[in-house]
Amino acid sequence: MCLKVALVDDESWGRERLASLLRDLDCEVIAELDHGLALLSWLKSGPAVDCLFLDVDMPGVNGLDVWAALVQPPPVVFISAHSGHAFRAFECEALDYLLKPVMLPRLQQTITRLNRIKAGMPGALQVLSKDEPTRSKGDRFPVRAGKGQLLLETRRVILFEVEDETVWAWCGGERFRTFWKSLSEVEAELPMSGFAKIHRGALLRLSAVVGVRPLPSGRCRARLNDGTEMDVSRVMTPTFKAALGAR
């Protein structure tokens, strides 16, 4: 079964690479466009497509705004270098959200789902109920995204913190709301070898720490690779410094 797809990306290298990957997966790329206005013009006379791969981060009119301007849009998969647009993307009922650089195995998952939809298989691809989270699989875990869920990669998370019986995950400078209520639930479902508890309400990724300095009362302050600083409680400081190999 051959999927007919169109793609929009203002960066030529990214557009050409994605088109090549799609062809490797037996898709027919019927249009390669470099900006949102070109898409609006092409859709007026272009042939029907099974899916549109639309870059979010484009100069002028971004992909999300282009999508909002369409009256009867085809199914869409948004692509972006950042995870921060995912919530709005799923509010647009996107079929998927791919992070750049798009890898072939991840794209294969999307194409498999699209082929199942084209074959008329019910429920082949749907926004999952926000009240029924998918099971965490160690390398990824679900967070709330509009009416559905987004799967975050554990290795990209810098910090887990608890606020009002809700665990939040910090990833790419954005805070995402998970389905967990306590850090003990996080520790039970995810591999925590790369994290250390800095106080009762936070788990910090050790590889993100570039420095540590002492504070009064036996506490310390950790400096992260993005320039932010976080205080470590007096009780947790010895264990935290030992995990870092600091004195």
CA–CA gap between residue 5 and residue 20 (Å, rounded)? 12
Contact 199, 207 (CB under 8 A): no
Residue 166 has pLDDT above 90, yes or no: yes
Residue 125 has pLDDT above 50, yes or no: no
Contact 149, 134 (CB under 8 A): yes
Token duo for residue 185: 């639930």
Contact 7, 29 (CB under 8 A): yes
Residue 222 has pLDDT above 80, yes or no: yes
Segment 114-132 mean pLDDT: 54
Segment 77-81 mean pLDDT: 86
Residue 72 has pLDDT above 80, yes or no: no
Q: Can you list the domains of the chain with their CATH numbers? A: 4-118 (3.40.50.2300), 140-244 (2.40.50.1020)
Q: Minimum mean pLDDT among 15-24, 169-178, 198-207: which range?
A: 169-178
Query: 80 forms bridges with which residues in the sheet?
Result: 99
Cβ-based neighbour number of residue 170 at 10 Å: 20
Tell me the pLDDT of the chain averaged across its residues: 82
CA–CA gap between residue 169 and residue 174 (Å, rounded)? 8
Residue 233 has pLDDT above 90, yes or no: yes
Residue 20 pLDDT grade (very low, low, confident, very high; cuts 50, 70, 90): very high
CA–CA gap between residue 95 and residue 126 (Å, rounded)? 7
SS3 for 162-209 is EECCEEEEEECCEEEEECCCCHHHHHHHCCCCCEEEEECCEEEEHHHE
**Maximum mean pLDDT: which of 21-30, 81-90, 113-122:** 21-30
CA–CA gap between residue 122 and residue 136 (Å, rounded)? 24
Query: 231 forms bridges with which residues in the sheet?
Result: 221
Residue 84 pLDDT grade (very low, low, confident, very high; cuts 50, 70, 90): low
Strand 157-163 and strand 202-205: pairing?
A: antiparallel
pLDDT score for 28: 94
Contact 148, 115 (CB under 8 A): no
Contact 39, 56 (CB under 8 A): no
pLDDT score for 67: 75
Strand 76-80 and strand 96-99: pairing?
A: parallel
pLDDT score for 17: 93
Dihedral angle of Cα 26, 32, 38, 43, to the nearest 10 degrees: -20
Residue 141 has pLDDT above 90, yes or no: no
Segment 171-175 mean pLDDT: 78
Residue 29 pLDDT grade (very low, low, confident, very high; cuts 50, 70, 90): very high
